[in-house]
Amino acid sequence: MRVVRSVDPSAPNLAVDVSGRLEGQTPVVLIHGMGGDHTTWRPAAKVLRAAGRPTIAVDLRGHGRSEHADSYLLDDFSRDIERVVQELGLDRFDLVGHSLGAHAALRYAMGSPDRVRRLVLEEVPPMPRDDADLAEQIAPSATLGERVRGLRALAANPGPFLRFDRALPATVTGQFDVPDRLWWERLGAVDAPTLVISGGARSFLPGRLLETVAEALPDGRFVTIDAGHSVHRDARPEFLSALSRHVDG
């Protein structure tokens, strides 16, 4: 693991798993979801490295081996991505995110569209547009089935849960309780061809809403893989196939 140290005392040090030569083919930056860490991307990273792509799997603040923080604003997570990118000297890269990590990746791509070559958003929670969206409770969450599958994953790899900052969820989910139409307008700034992946009917996120996100992007494509919220974990072959096809384009 590599540590991205902060010169700002209010910003935490970040742990990053770097594999492969960054001077070679276009790197792929991988951002996990809430409660996870870089280890969730090991199967994807293995496939990408076999194709000659270096990978950078980030532990977001409050997760994994990164430090806990006093602030967990949504923009803090996208700024964490920027810090990693600057530290590693990445000029242009592909960006992949799941859930909260996908939301952070999308916010980063809105602010730095020239850096992101291709973008993959797995089960990205959008900001609510109005009271109707608020009623659907689209904040990062989990259905009963997702919790059961999560318990199996926890038994196999308890590390992410043990290191996770328990103060984080309430702060993060509360930010999805405020409508933000400007967020939707800013989608137009994303230049990268973007694959939006829905987990289908087993996910708490309505697929039609994620399809709306894809339609609002200048170059968005939408696909459903009926696996629930953690597609990369529970439908690995289908996810890896979709990921590989998109980033190889």
Paired sense of beta strands 194-198 and 220-224, if any: parallel
- Return d(Cα 167, Cα 50) in angstroms, integer: 38
Per-residue pLDDT in tens (0 to 9) along the chain, 249 residues: 999 998 888 899 999 999 998 888 999 999 999 999 999 999 999 999 999 999 999 999 999 999 999 999 999 999 999 999 999 999 999 999 999 999 999 999 999 999 999 999 999 999 999 888 887 766 665 443 444 344 445 445 666 778 889 999 999 999 999 999 999 999 999 999 999 999 999 998 999 999 999 999 999 999 999 999 999 999 999 999 999 999 997
Ordered domains of the chain (ranges, CATH): 2-247 (3.40.50.1820)
**Amino acid at residue number 193:** P
From residue 128, alpha-carbon distances to 123, 138, 229 in Å are 15, 7, 18
Q: Which of 38, 185, 29, 55 is nearest to 116 (CA)?
A: 29
Residues 99, 123 contacting (CB under 8 angstroms): yes
Helical axes 100-111 vs 74-88, angle rounded to 10°: 70
Whether this prediction's pTM lies above 0.75 is answered by yes
For residue 79, the SS3 value is: helix
